């Protein structure tokens, strides 16, 4: 009997060890919130770069085949948006819009901004299922090398426009962020900030030249879909044009923050001091959602 008890005692710990999960199963929970945030960011950045490469590869293939351009609807490649907006770019208004933009690009007399592969950059960089906040702009910057398909954003090496300078000033006052050396806002887009212009293309040095051609209907569909299909998204509406879009947003499901436009003409009339960045993060934290790291 004594020997049997000894054997049972020996086997009991083995049973307990079998029930314990292997270390690899709990490794993610051992990460700090900051580490989890970095892992998530790197995954989303990789997806954004993949989408960009797909768009570029389509253009390269078209040039090799002597076509010169890709059909506009083929440049929206992010699957989650294609699922959220089924058939939107096949509707009559969108077909007419696509033909118009393709004619403008192929005409060649006046450059069209942003470059073709960046026209849907906002949607290709911020998957539908990851949208936490939306910042609405008007149409792209119309100077050479400025537009990159993200509202208010310019590529590195391009002079930071005055509106973005004022956004950075407010960020510094609101959250103590240091003023960045460039105006590339891709880090925001990758974290779930949809940087959406209401019009996605423009002629060289001709502001609003592609307005009222169908883009507004398409981007309204984007905003309405977010409002209908998601919950708890924070809309940062700066200026009258952006605030008009509040009619598309269910204020009972989402958070709408309004302020003056950050342009030099109106920043002093309510944009400075709006504290939208800290307010957005507080709302996200209250919903149990990872806040946005606004520092660039």
Q: Is residue 8 part of a domain?
A: no
Q: Is residue 25 part of a domain?
A: no
Q: Is residue 98 part of a domain?
A: yes
Q: Is residue 17 part of a domain?
A: no
Phi, psi of 6 (to 5 degrees): -65, -40
Given a cut of 70, whether residue 3 has pLDDT beyond it is no
**Count of domains forming the chain:** 1
Number of Cβ atoms within 10 Å of the Cβ of 175: 14
Report the percentage of the chain scoring pLDDT > 90. 82
Q: Which residues form the catalytic set?
A: 139
pTM: 0.89
Q: Is residue 194 part of a domain?
A: yes
Residue 69: what pLDDT? 78
Window from 3-17, 29-43, 44-58 with minimum mean pLDDT: 3-17
Given a cut of 90, whether residue 158 has pLDDT beyond it is yes
CATH number at residue 211: 3.40.470.10
Q: Domain limits at 203?
A: 36-287
Residue 6: what pLDDT? 45
Q: Is residue 117 part of a domain?
A: yes
Read off the pLDDT band of 29 (50, 70, 90). Answer: low
Given a cut of 60, whether residue 55 has pLDDT beyond it is yes
What's the whole-number average pLDDT of the chain?
91
Q: Is residue 54 part of a domain?
A: yes
pLDDT in tens, 198-209: 999 999 999 999
Q: Is residue 93 part of a domain?
A: yes
């Amino acid at each position: 009997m004594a020997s049997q008890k000894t054997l049972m005692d020996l086997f009991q710990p083995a049973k307990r060890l079998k029930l314990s999960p292997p270390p690899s199963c709990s490794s993610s929970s051992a990460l700090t919130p900051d580490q989890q945030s970095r892992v998530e960011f790197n995954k989303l950045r990789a997806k954004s770069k993949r989408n960009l490469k797909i768009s570029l590869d389509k253009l390269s293939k078209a040039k090799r085949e002597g076509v010169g351009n890709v059909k506009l609807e083929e440049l929206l490649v992010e699957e989650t948006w294609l699922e959220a907006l089924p058939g939107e770019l096949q509707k009559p208004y969108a077909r007419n819009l696509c033909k118009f933009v393709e004619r403008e690009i192929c005409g060649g007399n006046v450059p069209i901004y942003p470059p073709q592969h960046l026209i849907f950059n906002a949607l290709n960089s911020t998957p539908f299922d990851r949208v936490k906040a939306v910042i609405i702009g008007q149409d792209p910057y119309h100077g050479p090398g400025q537009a990159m398909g993200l509202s208010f954003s310019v590529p590195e090496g391009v002079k930071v426009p005055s509106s973005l300078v004022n956004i950075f000033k407010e960020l510094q006052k609101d959250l103590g962020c240091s003023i960045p050396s460039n105006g590339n806002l891709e880090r925001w887009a990758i974290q779930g900030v949809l940087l959406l212009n209401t019009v996605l293309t423009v002629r060289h040095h001709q502001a609003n030249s592609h307005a009222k051609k169908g883009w507004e209907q398409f981007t309204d569909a984007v905003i309405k879909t977010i409002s209908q299909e998601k919950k708890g998204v924070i809309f940062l509406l700066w200026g009258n044009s952006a605030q008009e879009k509040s009619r598309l947003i269910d204020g009972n499901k989402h958070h709408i923050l309004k302020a003056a436009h950050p342009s030099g003409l109106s920043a002093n009339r309510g944009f400075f001091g709006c504290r939208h960045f800290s307010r957005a993060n507080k709302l996200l934290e209250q919903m149990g959602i990872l806040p946005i790291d606004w520092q660039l």
